[in-house]
Amino acid sequence: MAGKYPSVVIAGTSSGCGKTTVTLGVMAALCKREVKVQPFKCGPDFIDPSLHRQVTGRVSRNLDVRMCGAEYVHNVFADHAPEDGISIVEGVMGLFDGGLGSAAHLAGLLDIPVLLVVDVRSAAESVAAVVKGFETFADGIRVVGVILNRVGSERHRQMIADAVQLHCRAEIIGALPRDRRITLPSRHLGLHMGTEVQLNRKRLIEFMEKHLNLDRLQVLAAQARYSAPVNSKPEIGKAHPIHTVRLGLARDESFCFYYRDNLDMLKQAGAEIVVFSPLHDRELPADLDGLYLGGGYPELHAATLAANRSMREEINKFSESGRPVYGECGGFMYLTDSIIDFRGTEYPMAGVFPVKARMGKRLRRLGYRQVELQDDTLFGPQGTFCYGHEFHYSEIDPMPTWIERAYVLDDGRAEGYRIRNTLAGYVHLHWGRTPEAVRNFINMMKA
């Protein structure tokens, strides 16, 4: 029985199969048809949602069961999935990669069908074996459609199509030929942010319209069986109260990694979000009660950040005043004495923490984190648990012992550091499972 929220998960057989490009193309082509497209991203990623927003004009929401819990994911989906449009959920890595955080787990939880993107450039009939394996690997996962990517020729396509039709339940709804003009640029943390990418929207739409059956995709999306739970509380992003505090949010090319749900929860709890740019503004906005410096790419803009001495000094003084400051990952790096970039060049930063942040050529940390607070902090009393994700190529010098270690992670590492009411660390926190952390942050700014 079809549900009332048309939706599909676009997943891949592995990373690098082209699912982000396919996802963006599907979204763009459906938007051209004036379909209301609501984007979602499986997992903790910041970059893909920014690309989704560029294409659809709508905020893309993260759906991360491992980081936020199943109830929260249900609430977010129920709140934003349109009944009169279509929800497109982009997967992460391969369909089954990640266990509890996988695209397969999410598709099963929400009971929505899967479209499988397969890179076929080095295979023919064997593609049917791959599709068959994905169809039968786990109960409750409905792989209903296949999108062949990087097809070499019409004969190549026909060989694959004959084998899939013979051996598989899923139908081929698209066969995308190799085209070097349909690509997305990448760097050390993944693809470029949506605000930095100039997509050739017309070419992408024409490509999808020619090689993908959009009508059939919409029919398959209507097979979604999602129903909002009876106890669902679809409140994310709704009903902001009267503002009680002013929170300065660092947002520019250097600081761009924020979960939109976190910002919505801050607004709901009474924060007026006041955006400023450590790159371009010379001073902080007036009458701020706290600062929030998210992640991003300070290492790519270190020279400009360093040249903005007045802003660095203002943020240092703000921290010295004892008002709440929170920095994570790139924001943490900015709060150190200096950043040493990939070339070994050192640039002075805000100087709150007396260490240097050094960029490396290899990935230092990657994975989900459970954070236990070791003392009363911005986000709650000692013993409070928060949840997030860590992904960075930089590392900091050994932190002096006199600086408080604010967190213990589930792998036993001490992480997160506090000076006065300034808290910073590498973990990107999501407050979906811990809304009390948001309330505590607001209360600290009120004090």
Tell me the CATH number at 21. 3.40.50.300
In-domain check, residue 202? yes
CA 85, distance to chain mean position in Å, is: 23
Quick: pLDDT tens for 218-270: 999 999 988 776 655 545 445 456 788 999 999 999 999 999 999 999 999 99
pLDDT for the residue 242: 74
Residue 406 structural domain? 245-446
d(CA 423, CA 446): 17
101-104-108-111 Cα dihedral, nearest 10 degrees: 120
Mean pLDDT across the stretch 168-175? 97
Give me the amino acid identity at 349. M
Q: In terms of domains, do 181 and 293 share one?
A: no
Could you tell me what percent of the chain has a pLDDT over 70? 93
pLDDT for the residue 197: 58
Output the CA torsion sign for 75, 80, 85, 87: negative
Mean pLDDT across the stretch 197-218? 90
pLDDT for the residue 234: 44
CATH of the domain at 293: 3.40.50.880
* Residue 214 three-state SS: helix
Mean pLDDT across the stretch 345-369? 94
Banded model confidence at residue 195, pLDDT cuts 50, 70, 90 = low
d(CA 113, CA 94): 15
Contact 148, 127 (CB under 8 A): yes
Lowest mean pLDDT among 39-53, 160-174, 233-247, 312-326: 233-247
d(CA 392, CA 184): 21
Angle, alpha carbons 127-6-175 (nearest 5°):
25
pLDDT for the residue 187: 40
Q: What is the DSSP letter of 84?
A: T
Residue holding tokens 């899939």?
Answer: 164
Phi, psi of 416 (to 5 degrees): 80, 130
192/360: higher pLDDT: 360
Q: In terms of domains, do 121 and 79 share one?
A: yes
Q: In terms of domains, do 142 and 255 share one?
A: no
Q: In terms of domains, do 267 and 344 share one?
A: yes
Q: In terms of domains, do 310 and 163 share one?
A: no
Contact 407, 371 (CB under 8 A): yes
d(CA 261, CA 370): 19
Q: In terms of domains, do 184 and 70 share one?
A: yes
pLDDT at residue 57 greater than cutoff 50: yes
Residue holding tokens 């449009």?
Answer: 85
Banded model confidence at residue 361, pLDDT cuts 50, 70, 90 = confident
Domain end (from 221, 236, 256): 221
When the pLDDT of each residue in the chain is averaged and rounded to a whole number, the result is: 92
Q: Reduce the secondary structure of 99-143 to three states and give it as a string.
A: HHHCHHHHHHHHCCCEEEEEECCCCCCHHHHHHHHHHHCCCCCCE
In-domain check, residue 233? no
CA-atom Rg of the chain in angstroms: 23
Q: Answer whether 0.85 is exceeded by the pTM.
A: yes
Residue holding tokens 């906005």?
Answer: 285
The enclosing H or E element of 240 equals none
Contact 154, 47 (CB under 8 A): no
Q: What is the DSSP letter of 336?
A: E
Q: In terms of domains, do 385 and 432 share one?
A: yes
Q: In terms of domains, do 208 and 253 share one?
A: no
180/401: higher pLDDT: 401
Q: In terms of domains, do 265 and 386 share one?
A: yes
Strand partners of residue 369? 388
In-domain check, residue 231? no
pLDDT for the residue 282: 96
In-domain check, residue 227? no
Lowest mean pLDDT among 151-160, 182-191, 381-390: 182-191
* Residue 247 three-state SS: strand
| 115-129, 171-185, 234-248: which is most confident | 115-129
pLDDT at residue 161 greater than cutoff 80: yes
| End-to-end alpha carbon distance in the chain | 53
> Which parts of 178-332 are beta strand (E)?
186-187, 190-191, 245-250, 255-257, 271-276, 290-293, 295-296, 325-328
Banded model confidence at residue 56, pLDDT cuts 50, 70, 90 = very high
Give me the amino acid identity at 210. K
As for how many domains the chain has, the answer is 2
pLDDT at residue 283 greater than cutoff 50: yes
Strands 353-359 vs 394-396: parallel, antiparallel or unpaired = antiparallel
pLDDT for the residue 1: 40
> Which parts of 304-413 are beta strand (E)?
325-328, 336-340, 346-348, 353-359, 365-373, 385-392, 394-396, 404-409
Contact 325, 319 (CB under 8 A): yes
Enumerate the active-site residues: 329
pLDDT for the residue 237: 47
